[in-house]
Amino acid sequence: MDKFMKIAIEEARLGINSGHGGPFGCVIVRDGEVVGKGHNEVIKRSDPTCHGEVMAIRNACQNLGTYDLTGCELYTTAEPCPMCRGAILWANIRKVYFGCNIADTDKIGFRDKVFYEGEHNFSAELDRAECLEVFEEYRDMKDKKHY
């Protein structure tokens, strides 16, 4: 067994045994060293965004003092959902290793599959002109960050 996946599995067990959420544990590694870890804390924090990958990204960013995890790899017990995939991309993580796939997640009662299928028409454009003003203010600022 891979040593980093073993840590992710331990993290998942910590979460489920503590009643924090589902069996999703994650570690982030840079240059062969663990720089962040986390597990699902959706139930503990009453927050649907507290997936294992997101918690590990937050932990790694805090530990490294940066929002840019370029050069890092992520190990997780399950294939990342679309939200986590987005967070992984925003963090610039270069490689993801996962244990269980979406079908496995579905078999234990999680609804990840629905996020990969069909249309979800719950958004609509509103007050674009006013929002563009804010975007233009940002565009014209000096020393801005694009994250």
Domain at 10, CATH number: 3.40.140.10
Is 13 part of any domain?
A: yes
**Which residues in 100-137 are b (16+ Cβ under 10 Å) and which e?**
eebeebeeeebebeeeeeeeeeeeeeeeeeeeeeeeee
Question: Choosing from 53, 73, 119, 136, which is the catalytic residue?
Answer: 53
Q: For the chain, which residues score pLDDT lower than 70?
A: 118-120, 146-147
Catalytic annotation on 53? yes
Which residue type does 130 have?
A: E
pLDDT for the residue 119: 67
Is 78 part of any domain?
A: yes
Q: For residue 53, what are the domain limits? A: 3-140
Total domain count for the chain? 1
pLDDT for the residue 144: 72
- pTM for this one? 0.90
Is 146 part of any domain?
A: no
Is 131 part of any domain?
A: yes
Is 23 part of any domain?
A: yes
- In order, the DSSP letters of 45-105 are HT-TT--HHHHHHHHHHHHHT-S--TTEEEEEEEPPPHHHHHHHHHTT--EEEEEE-HHHH
pLDDT for the residue 147: 57
Is 49 part of any domain?
A: yes
